[in-house]
Amino acid sequence: MPTSADDLLPLPDALRATHVVVTEWYGADEVRPWRVQAQRRCDGVADGPMRIFHADGTRYVEGAHRDGAPSERWCWYTAKGELFMTAEHHGDGTRTTRYVDPTRAAGGVERLAHDGQWLREGWWRERLCDDVWIDAEYLQGARVRARPALDALRARLDGGAVSDAVTVLAGGSVETVYEGVDALLATGWTLAPDTAIALALAGDATTLHRVVPWFAAMGERAWPAVERALAAHDTTHALALAVVRTAMQRPLDARGEQLLTDALFETTDAPAHHALVAHFTAVLLALPLPQRAALVLGAPSRSAQRRGRAHWTYAATAPTPAVIDALLAEVAAMPATVRTKTPARCDAITATLSALARHTVAPFCAWLEGDGRRARHRAVVLHATAASGDPVVVPTLLSFAHDAQREARDAARSGLAALGEAARGPLTLAVAGRRGRARDLAQALLAGLGGSIGARR
């Protein structure tokens, strides 16, 4: 095995006077070279040819640097001497990488990061399995989306083989197929309505928002196929069919209402459902308020368990007494552990109640002064009531300012302080008409509106 620098990396004659070859080794014995690199004598900056070796001495990488940066063409070899990857450096911190080995990705652009790592950027052709390839888009080395090879996907979908497209071309990922469909549509390809419905039936609450533009664009052309799907799947696929039907913006008949209300209960406030929730929220807001409230309360549902039970995710779209009463009944029935075990759920409940209280606060005050007076989670409702910003809540909040439950009295006091100048009138009346601690608190608030009262117990 050659070990001298000249043998490991012969310098071009033009560089011999100005450059030197530096060798780095495997281990301290300096027997097995790891990397040899041409450097400028004047400043030690890598400039010129470079080689890296496998531990057995065979070549691994051949390339070059210019002014310390990788340049020109680099080649990678197996221990058997077979070329398996190349990279063309463009001088702007990017390179185009190509894999010769068919079991690896076909290649794409990479960008040099601050830590010296090359990160994939843009679209890459990658081998999924056997002869199946996908195109994957990367941003700073992380895959952000993927789609099947478009020619293969078009052939499957034109033949109506949706199941094959999902299982064979996309490894079971419906999201990957949806990405491919969008890319095909951008080329002018026409999606058949029956194929679009089959694709929708393969989706779920995390992906179905992707099909909305398809059916909105197809309009009435797709309706006969939708009617056939509604007849064939009378009691199944409510979520997918509701998405399809609402995307076409047709008036809701009794069957449409039933589909929609059942679909609403298949979505949650989980981040993965946000896009679909936004679609259904827009659909609800376009309906008359009584119809909205009925859907949110599950009135058209076939499920007895859903009927009369308000859906928290969409309740803010229907600020009616019936919806608010249903929600407050659920708050009263919530277990004591809900705040400690699911704090995010409590935050979502508070946000929904606060949104409703901004529309109408009277039901909240009535509940707090009645059935909610000793409710386990009354603090949640107090927070929402105070968030209304309506000074009419001042008497109710004052009545809880010395509550036995710390969370309740903190919610009442912070709510009173947050009302600020708007509370002046009701507080003045409270000073005149109350006695004891409630009167003292009202006086303190009047003395310094907006000041902190959290320390007064």
pLDDT in tens, 241-263: 999 999 998 888 888 998 999 99
Q: Which pairs with CB-CB distance under 8 Å and at least 24 residues apart come from 234-238?
A: 235/302, 237/201, 238/262, 238/263, 238/266
- Contact between 48 and 64 under an 8 Å Cβ cutoff? The reply is yes
Amino acid of residue 369: E
Does residue 452 register a pLDDT over 50? no
Confidence class for position 310, pLDDT limits 50, 70, 90: confident
Q: Residue 370 is encoded by which pair of tokens?
A: 């009645």
Rounded to 5°, the CA angle 59-60-65 comes to: 100
Confidence class for position 334, pLDDT limits 50, 70, 90: confident
Q: In what order do the strands lie in the sheet with 46-53?
A: 19-26, 32-40, 46-53, 59-66, 69-77, 83-89, 94-99, 107-112, 118-129, 132-139, 142-148
Question: Residue 3 has what pLDDT?
Answer: 57
- Length in residues, the chain: 457
pLDDT in tens, 255-308: 899 899 999 989 988 899 999 999 999 999 999 999 999 999 988 777 777 777
Q: Residue 452 is encoded by which pair of tokens?
A: 């902190």
Does residue 84 register a pLDDT over 60? yes
pLDDT in tens, 13-71: 899 999 999 999 998 878 889 999 999 999 999 999 999 999 999 999 999 999 999 99
**Distance between CA atoms of residues 211 and 152, nearest Å:** 20
32's CB contacts (< 8 A; 6+ apart) are: 1, 25, 26, 53, 55, 57
- For the whole model, what pTM was predicted? 0.78
Does residue 390 register a pLDDT over 60? yes
